[in-house]
């Protein structure tokens, strides 16, 4: 029974953390986090050493679902060019949803200045994996400089995500048009 209670408490904390940190930023206090999760601070500290560890665990837990939202599925087995464009098409679609606040990993990187912060380490890893995926697809598509193209694609992805998340820009084809120009310039098929 205690294991089930701990898992339930842990899940409630991570769910609350993911939601609060995404909507309000990482400065959310422990009291707010625990109240939202319906757990005591004592219970939180029995499961996690600090709020930083809760944030890191909530980001780590979010990676598979976020990647699944952006990554092509088995039905999207097109060319490397189509797979890259598909990521930006999905980003544009996600950005139109009212609850969209941008990339949660980019937000953590912007807010957390300490390179050793556990949540920053998780966020950096998630962003690096996306860049590696862009680079792999660029290489498969025949890009002249897959590494440079991957960096450019990350710049567009993060910029589009941040501007749409801040509600200062609607993407409506803007990201895919920009990426198409980059793919054309790099000769990606």
Which percentage of the chain shows pLDDT scores above 70?
Answer: 94
Give, as one character, the DSSP assignment of residue 1. -
The residue ranking higher by pLDDT, 174 or 4, is: 174
**Is pLDDT at 45 greater than 70 in this prediction?**
yes
The mean pLDDT of 145-172, rounded to a whole number, is: 97
Q: Is the pLDDT of residue 76 over 70?
A: no
Query: What is the token pair recorded at 3?
Result: 């294991």
Check whether 6 has a pLDDT greater than 70. Answer: no
What mean pLDDT comes out for the span 109-115? Answer: 96
* The pLDDT of residue 1 is above 90: no
| Domain spans of the chain, in order of start | 2-185
Mean pLDDT to the nearest integer, 101-110: 96
Angle formed at CA 114 by CA 164 and CA 146, multiple of 5 degrees? 55
Q: Who has greater pLDDT, 183 or 2?
A: 183
Helix (H) or strand (E) holding 22: helix 2-24
pTM for the model: 0.91
Give pLDDT, residue 36. 96
pLDDT at 40 over 60: yes
Q: Average pLDDT for residues 113-128, to the nearest whole number? A: 97
Arithmetic mean of pLDDT over the chain:
93
| Model confidence at 72: pLDDT above 80 | no
Q: pLDDT per residue over 143-152, tens digit each?
A: 999 999 999 9
Q: What is the pLDDT of residue 56?
A: 97
The stretch 18-45 carries a mean pLDDT of 96
User: How much is the pLDDT for 2?
Assistant: 47
Instruction: Spell out the alpha helix ranges (H) of the chain.
Output: 2-24, 30-37, 41-47, 51-70, 80-95, 104-111, 118-140, 146-165, 174-185
> Which of the four CATH numbers 2.60.320.10, 1.10.10.60, 2.70.70.10, 1.10.357.10 does domain 2-185 have?
1.10.357.10
Q: What is the pLDDT of residue 74?
A: 55
Question: Which tokens hold the place of 42?
Answer: 């004592």
């Amino acid at each position: 029974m205690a294991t089930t209670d701990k898992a339930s408490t842990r899940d409630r904390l991570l769910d609350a953390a993911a939601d609060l940190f995404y909507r309000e930023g990482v400065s959310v206090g422990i009291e707010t986090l625990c109240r939202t999760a319906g757990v005591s601070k004592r219970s939180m500290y029995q499961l996690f050493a600090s709020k930083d560890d809760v944030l890191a665990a909530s980001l780590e837990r979010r990676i598979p679902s976020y990647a699944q939202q952006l990554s092509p599925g088995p039905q999207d087995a097109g060319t490397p060019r189509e797979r890259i464009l598909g990521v930006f098409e999905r980003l544009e679609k996600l950005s139109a949803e009212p609850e969209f606040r941008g990339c949660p990993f980019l937000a953590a990187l912007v807010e957390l200045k300490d390179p050793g912060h556990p949540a920053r380490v998780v966020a950096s890893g998630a962003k690096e994996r996306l860049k590696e995926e862009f680079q792999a697809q660029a290489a498969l598509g025949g890009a002249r400089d897959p590494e440079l193209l991957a960096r450019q694609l990350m710049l567009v992805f993060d910029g589009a995500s941040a501007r749409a998340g801040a509600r200062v820009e609607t993407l409506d084809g803007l990201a895919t048009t920009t990426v198409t120009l980059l793919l054309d310039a790099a000769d990606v098929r």
